[in-house]
Structure 1
Amino acid sequence: MRNPLSPASLLEGASESGYVRSLIAGTVGMLALLGVSGLAFPDSVAGDLAGIVFSTSTATSTARLAAPIVLAGLGGIFAEKSGVINIGLEGLLIISAFVSVYAASVVGVGNAVLGVPTLAIAFLAGIAASTFLSAVFAVVCIEFKADQIIAGLAVWLIALGLAPFLSTVFFGGVNTPNLGVSVGWQYSATMVVFATAGSWWLLNKTAFGKHLRAAGENPKALDTVGVSVSKVRYAGVLLSGVLSGVGGSALALSIGQFVGSGETMVQGKGFIAIVAYLFGNYNPLGTLGAGALFAGLDAIQIRLQQLGYAIPDTLVQTIPYVVVIVVLTLVGRTQIPEAAGEHYETEE
């Protein structure tokens, strides 16, 4: 019996979707064209761009920047597949980023609690904070049937105000001091790969995955067979909190600091995560590819600015949204769950 998490199985799952297959082919084609252009014209803009795209530094920056986007995107898939639209992913990333740094500073770098090292405790604290906030969001939306878009915006705004405020209270400023230790890009990349494989397996190879899809597509049918729609939706939203917590913690601990100025260090990555899973058509593998693409574009623009190309970062930040509109227009439509955003009353 073949392992469902093996690379062959995952690639087979990806190939079942013509949409994902088209995206992969298009990306490979563009990279090949860039590589040939760079070799043919090494002293041109294409040569500089090819040198940046295929450099080790760009790859490591992409791995670090992709972690919060991909992990939050995977979380968004679980929530929306269950029928709950969680646009508060940005807020979950923000609160987990701050709490992870705060927990690490309280425990102290190099120390341990019950044998658990500081960075592990920091990750757990960030995940707990994000999961708690997502639980509040779930209760408001599922139990009290609040508007999911408004509730998601509230989560974002609460975290956007709360994290810098707490940083000012505990550290004397919106930016925390540097911990002096950080999580390497290898760990972020590993977490992303395992989370993507695990999410694909959970969604496609388990009874829970079937229940999750039913809750978002036909909740009445799920209720008819005796499965609680509310419980499935709670599980989906809580999973979005857990995965976003990992992403936010990885982002902050990758530099050993929380930056709370402006839009905070998250800088819209939660909203880009939403674009990523829409771009990937709710497929974890597609979300991984989209997250890596958007993070790569961010890493490339930073290197281009270092080489003297004056490209505004605000312009680059619009690229994910423009790209997803163009690609979805040319390749196909995102299949949004039928009951996404709709409340459901359990039938007695």
Structure 2
Amino acid sequence: MSLKKLFLVALGLLAAIVVGIFTDNKVIAQPATDLALALYHAPIHYQDTDSTKYSADYITRFDYDSDWRGTNNWDNLFQFPLSSHGYYSIAETCTHWFITYSFYHPQDWTDIPFDQEHENDLEGLLTIVRKDGSAFGKLEGVVTVFHNDFYSYTPTGSPLRNGAESIDGTLTMNSYSGSLHPLTTQEAKGHGLKAWPDAGNFKGGSREDGIIYYPSQTTAELPASENDRDVQYQLVDVFAEAGMWQHQLNEASLSSSSALTFASWGTFKGDSSGGCGSGTPTCSTNSANTPWGWDDSNDGAVYKGEMALDPAHLTDAYFDGLGTFDTAYIRNQFIQGLKDRGYNSANLPQGWPTQLNLNSLIGKLKNRCS
């Protein structure tokens, strides 16, 4: 073989190493970064708005008012800009990535007599992404949070079938920024979330009130009005330093009276200050949950918080047709964070769900794929 051919072969091998790794004579793309993976699958989000108090329907950060106090977010609604954000977290097994997305509103509000409202609101969805050898995998299904119920959806062509829970519909997918994204939608006021167009009254029509949010790595736009059709929301990692999960761990052993952000495990503090419950509605306190506090009221042996803490178990229960499916985690920062802080079944965080065995969760961590 000539030196020129040897050089070309070596150059080809080097290129293959840069873009992927060899496995069984196939080149497998290196996984994307967490942010790139989250951006690739993040929802295009249709947010219904109500003209009575439309800014309360804007999605933003929990600390939009520059602090992590849970009991002043209702009060501060009109005092700070509500730049657009959405949270994400990623857990990983040898066969799947599980990406949780959530959208925060400072108020769950109503203008209906004798209804109920509360401070803080966080609802979202779980996306189930199979590792298929590509950098970003393939979306197989989602489970959304609509108050105290979960709803399941699959894209066209998904292998997933009804399991212990029935699939509620087909995901609509739209192309944006180089990939296909699921369309999701939230109601005005109460902000229950389903796949588009199953929640609220906004489907994108010119005569409808609502905002269409598009995911971004770096840009957090402020809607121009309650009828803005092109607003970028910035993705925020739940595990970011000094972020939401860090605050939960820091307050995991504190009483509600001592904590700043959380009333108990997975539940934000929230009170009736600032006008919550004024007039004919009532105001419930400590009523908004994080992904590790989300719960469906009637889905059998899938317990509070598992959408974030143990998404593989939730997926295994909700769906059949999973094929090769791993239920242990090579990466789960929720479980790892608890373990690193010394929590276990004999030393539980304050308010930990009684049906979840923390030692069993810790036992689902593993170092590598066999």
Normalising by structure 2, we get a TM-score of 0.28
Q: Which has the higher strand share?
A: 2
- TM-score scaled by structure 1? 0.30
* Higher gyration radius (CA): 2
Greater helix proportion: 1
